[in-house]
Structure 1
Amino acid sequence: MLAVQLHQLEYLVAVADEGGFTRAAERLRVAQPGVSAQVRKLERELGHELLDRSGPRVRPTPVGTEVVAAARRALDAVAGVTRVVEDLDGLLRGEARVGMVTSGPFLDVPGVLAEFAAMYPGVTCTLVEAGSGRLVTMLREGRVDVALIGAAGGVADDLVARTVTEESLVVAVPSGDPLATAASVAPRDLAGRDVVAPSEGNALREAFDLACADVPVRIACAASDPTVLARLAARGLGVAVLPASLSALRSEELVTVPFAADVRARLVLAWPRGSVGPAAAALTRALVAAVPG
């Protein structure tokens, strides 16, 4: 049974790369006689000369060329095992930080985070709730690892994004309002009118603000729950901005009309490009896996 040792393979590869025992020893930071002795021992174990020592530069023999290639693969495999262990150690002792805007039912970020924390009790988990702009800044500054943000205006190239949901907007108006019979409502139709809008930091609010950037609308009231917005509109507090998924919401008091603006309420998971710690990477994978199919 062969008794080949990893350090012998490492010495052989170093000699083949450097073309000599002295330079290989300098690279490995060991004594040159030790390198020579271990390579000789490997050759005796395998029953073949692996290096041609006859010229000014040491070169692998034909058999040695194949053994060196196999030695590289073996050393790479060992390095891969080491990386796996290091990643697992990172998961046992790391930190994972997630940010989120108000997401409604689209992605249960707190639930995913709670399950992750239970699976990896040694990881310090943090949840930050903020508006999209602040969360993007925190992603770029490394203060959160992954965030659920509104992205009506798109996502910058320095971030990776996975869409969670995307839909158009409608407005809800009292049934007696002149807009109730319109085929659609444009941003200019809301100029000077009271609007019941989603809370700031909400993806729906971001889309509405983008559409009405040049229109003087009055935000009479704000709430994070679209059904609350609809009830407020029915009570006459103003025109409510709702997601299109509530377009079927009609009653004797309320009518929904399409919002004729070239924007969509888009909710995405975003994280910085490049390498991250193992705990942050694992949490990002867990959140991506939780995105509805």
Structure 2
Amino acid sequence: MRKIGIIFLVIILNGCKENLPGFDFESFKNTKAYDLAIAVKNENLGEIERILEKDESLVDYLDPEFGHSLLMLSVANNLQKSVSKLLEFGADPNKKSEPPSNMNNEVTTAVFIASDKAYKRNCETDILELLVKHGGKIDDKIDVKYLNSNYITKETPLMIAIKSDCIDLVKKIVELGADINGYNYINGKGPLANCIVHDNLDILEYLIIERKAEIPSYIFVRPSHNNTPRQELTIIEFLNEQKYPENSKNDLHRKRIINYIENR
């Protein structure tokens, strides 16, 4: 039974590797960029060169199904050689996807994808560094609209990375120049709040103690509702609301963070 379970897990992982939702090269089928898509998928650098030398306009061509570029697919599927070759031919790392109006897919860029651990299974940062080297904006912003709401917030590569437990990815984004203080928290949205919401207090400790992030007057907001007034929580108040097991990793991070803030 254990052997069957392992085989099933391997099949699932292999399937995910081949067909990431929204990042399948077959979405270019029946388009003029399909041959290029296959070359990119196979990291056939000679064929990529041959096709793009003939028609460079294909380098940022978007698939009609999801509105993603081949650079985005290369990043999502961790095809570093193809990423490098596409960038060499002028692929835009900041180009925004154009999802069809009938889909709820969020707009993204190659840099945002490279900052998302969902596509970086071992927290690799080589592709992200490559994108930034070719002009990728590490502090880029995209609008994110909450489902069933008119509320829109700004997302950044740093905010995306913090949602995972991948501290190495966060560190690389900060080292590449991401602004950790460029958030007003007026609606309770920002990197410090994200760390607590997603239970990644190792990242919070890194930002506050090692990187000396500014501590705003409040970091989390509960909007007013019926007769309940708006609540603005300080970082210590928000940390103390969390239910961490005594002496767990997050509990120890919390104690160090609070001690640092109270004694700085």
After TM superposition, the score normalised by the length of structure 1 is 0.21
Q: TM-score, normalization: structure 2?
A: 0.23
Structure with greater strand share of residues:
1
Larger Rg computed on CA atoms: 1
Higher helix share: 2
| Bigger relative contact order, structure 1 or 2 (CA pairs below 8 A, ≥6 apart) | 1
